[in-house]
Copies of this chain bind each other. A is one copy, B any other.
């Protein structure tokens, strides 16, 4: 079997086809058994975590995954990165990490940094979020959660709600959905925060059906998956407009009263107040499970990139 993952950079989810993603999912399913123990298959590997922008969830899940696999991590995060690299080019920092470690996980506030790093580094580079558009391992996790909780991604109806223009995970998720055949995608947002033109083009080119919706009540009955992202006040030119719409993009028990029994709600986290904590105890809430899947998914990803999948089991 041809190997999709061995030695590959992970810059965009579209670098991989459906078969590759399904291979990742199948290995993640196996890794769930090992995500609370230790599997010494990457003992000889060091993973660099270059978080130019702070993060807990993504950073700690990669770190946990690497350690559960017996490997080591080095790195820096946030403020430290800024004071340290003062004046040094990103290229030189990447060259250093590439000469110490066997792969680099990178997060940066500027779009394109991960791709640039991948051109410089000999070892694999994994994009852990750059700019406002790409976060491929989050999208893999989002899709895995749907696949795991509902059994399939083909044929489902997905609502994506919140700030669809600036939220980092939305573009990657939409790209990921084009690898499958969801029946319909509802883009639920205020008109000012609809996905950018080029993101809509991805859906169109893939022939996926989508509609813009302003009020979730119109479509809640149809949804199999509701994916919620945050709306930040500072994205609105007009505070009055923000105050007017914000209630419509907050999920409460009331929002869910007409939903399908089997609806699952996802969120990349952290959340602020876009999902009422009362929703947490409903059967619909799967965002904490989704977060927990982050460790086995990244265990599977690292195993595949280092070509050690034969050692699992």
Q: Are A84 and B56 in contact (CB under 8 A)?
A: yes
CB neighbours (8 Å) of A96 from chain B are: 56-57, 60, 269, 291
Size category of the A interface is 35 or more
CB neighbours (8 Å) of A61 from chain B are: 100
Q: Are B270 and A100 in contact (CB under 8 A)?
A: no
Query: A57-B96, A64-B74 in contact; A271/B84 too (CB < 8 A)?
Result: no
Q: Are B93 and A56 in contact (CB under 8 A)?
A: yes
**Once bound together, how far apart are the Cα atoms of A77 and B80, in whole Å?**
8
CB neighbours (8 Å) of A91 from chain B are: 277
CB neighbours (8 Å) of A270 from chain B are: 85, 87-88, 92-93
A45 and chain B: residue at smallest CB distance:
B38
- Which of A38, A56, A64, A91: most chain B Cβ within 10 A? A56
CB neighbours (8 Å) of A79 from chain B are: 79-80, 83
Q: Are A269 and B92 in contact (CB under 8 A)?
A: yes
CB neighbours (8 Å) of A101 from chain B are: 64
**Once bound together, how far apart are the Cα atoms of A118 and B87, in whole Å?**
33
Query: Closest Cβ of chain B: how far from A8's Cβ, in Å?
Result: 19
Q: Are B74 and A46 in contact (CB under 8 A)?
A: no
Per assembly, the copies of the chain total 3
A selection of 28 A-B contacts at a CB cut-off of 8 Å is: A37-B44, A38-B44, A46-B64, A46-B67, A46-B68, A54-B84, A55-B84, A56-B76, A56-B84, A56-B85, A56-B93, A56-B96, A60-B97, A63-B74, A78-B83, A79-B79, A79-B80, A79-B83, A88-B272, A91-B277, A92-B271, A95-B288, A96-B291, A99-B291, A99-B292, A99-B295, A100-B292, A100-B294
**Once bound together, how far apart are the Cα atoms of A57 and B56, in whole Å?**
23
Chain A contact residues, CB within 8 Å of chain B: 36-38, 43-44, 46, 48, 54-57, 60-61, 63-64, 67-68, 72, 74-80, 83-85, 87-89, 91-93, 95-97, 99-102, 269-272, 277, 288, 291-292, 294-295
CB neighbours (8 Å) of A294 from chain B are: 100
Query: Closest Cβ of chain B: how far from A91's Cβ, in Å?
Result: 8
B37, B60, B85, B88: which contacts A74 (Cβ < 8 A)?
Answer: B60
Q: Are B80 and A78 in contact (CB under 8 A)?
A: yes
CB neighbours (8 Å) of A74 from chain B are: 60, 63-64, 67
A63 and chain B: residue at smallest CB distance:
B74
Query: Closest Cβ of chain B: how far from A233's Cβ, in Å?
Result: 11
Query: Closest Cβ of chain B: how far from A61's Cβ, in Å?
Result: 6
Query: A80-B54, A80-B78, A270-B87 in contact; A99/B68 too (CB < 8 A)?
Result: no
